[in-house]
Structure 1
């Protein structure tokens, strides 16, 4: 657990995220983050499009009170209906966006269309009516806080909209100086508050994503520790137990093809003598080099496990009996030729091997017992050799 917590460094989050843009500095991670929130963004975008359509329909009966007589019902009414239809079509289109980039383009197009129409609609209002500024403020804050667009893009869009909106009001409405000041303050405040909210939201979401990634990496490392031997870094007994069912399936499948899955137990000869004579540090080096040699001697679809102490298990897949025998005898020959050397030891490190062929319905305990019996026979015969249980071979 301590190792896991050390992976999740509190200070690393601030180093990974750009302070002003509130984006990951690493482009690949930023892209992973954007894709990870794609489904959530699609839900938000769809909800907002439907919400806009609903609000427009709800306020439609009151438009007559604030719209200039010459613009009602034509073209104002038709105009509202067109916007509602576009909202509904956009909500439907959101579902079919496959990437964050596609969604971003659709959202940007919809927002640009909507903002343009909102400012165009302002021209139809009565000259004294400026309460629509409240709606503009709400729109600006929603664009920022939705985090559908980046902080930079949201800021450019909303600041530009605020400038156009304020100019539109100032030059098309009959306002006193106080009202003009209030309008400018409203737009400025909306952008300021929106920027703060957006920056915090973008940053917090990325920090959460980063924590999840760090936890996932830590979990994978912990799983690796659980299924790998700490000294030799090869799969351990737990890994063997976990994967044995797959070896059984292979044995059943290969039986029809008259091919084998074989299990070999190997034991380093006189390993206790190595520890007693040269110390456990040298003994550890022997274990590491021996395990590396075994791992390098097998094919990609084979496996080697440290079973405990100086005992190792090898699994050879899809192999004939004579091929398995030749493989192990080749390993024995290479060991005797000092395939690896250890400066402190002036003689070859050899090993004894017991081989058994996995029967289709055999459990791990039974085949290990058969291979172990062959290993003891090899030791009894003088070590540095292979003994084979030929039961059920092809």
Structure 2
């Protein structure tokens, strides 16, 4: 059973981590491996596990106990999770502590995260860890309409976007494009495209250690075809939550990609300010690719997006532009006025309106996105055929390219 089948077999209303097996023997193996994992992490006394038989097979549902959930993630609020369980971080290095936070956040989920086994679960945790750590290191030049990459690794193709030079290592190329320590330079590209690079980097790092064949496929793909925008979403990501059943406003798992929507119609017409794509990095912090030393909290991100309405100016050509200095001044002024700050946050921490609607909604999206499963033997990631490949030898459909708000080169 692969990750996709396991996700389809899970019971969303039960929440937590769910391991799906085709038969009783597989369910027993999943139970044994899960108990071993929880015991090793010191979480067994804080979780409850239930075996269920469904039309799809045997499902093992593991969630936090009621006491642990109320203490660590009240009302599914995971933004303070790291502080609330800091005693379990003793002696752990940063990657290990982040993995622990990810697993607890998954166990605290209001919906079910399905996996075919513990190894697939651990693979997902590692990918999320890689993404969160890479997001912490990512920094870009602040030009929302620009498109630039390290020339030693990337070339621009008018039809296919930025492609890898043949033979140049994908992981190294992604690091050089996003982490200035590697080259001594900040490169210009949008925050949306940066989230794609960070996610692809996290997947490639996992593949390098645990699924080398997938890394080879990613390498070949990026040498010939840049998967981006809507197609990137369809190929690499799973979206969870919906407008009809929104996720809790304070529920996030490290490694999630999400969108803060600009609810102001006029300022949303400025290129790059329709909203803001970020990565949740854990510890209550969201990525700030322009100023990585100043990551956002949920409150500070909402406040910034709110004051975009105050930063709109018209240039000499009559085009709308954003005056970031003015936005910053407005943010500081509101932060110094507790009543005004409460009013802004009350307005912005509502679920966003539907596409094209600017009414009473805030900037919080109802959904999040995370990478598809890439564990060897259970991989659900299907890359589109490379240019020139015979369709007969590639019996898989190319995911459709959809329009994505805020997507630039």
Give your verdict on TM over 0.5: no
TM-score, scaled to structure 1: 0.22
Structure showing greater relative contact order (alpha-carbon pairs closer than 8 Å, 6 or more residues apart): 2
Name the structure where helix makes up a greater proportion of residues. Answer: 1
Name the structure where strand makes up a greater proportion of residues. Answer: 2
TM-score, scaled to structure 2: 0.21
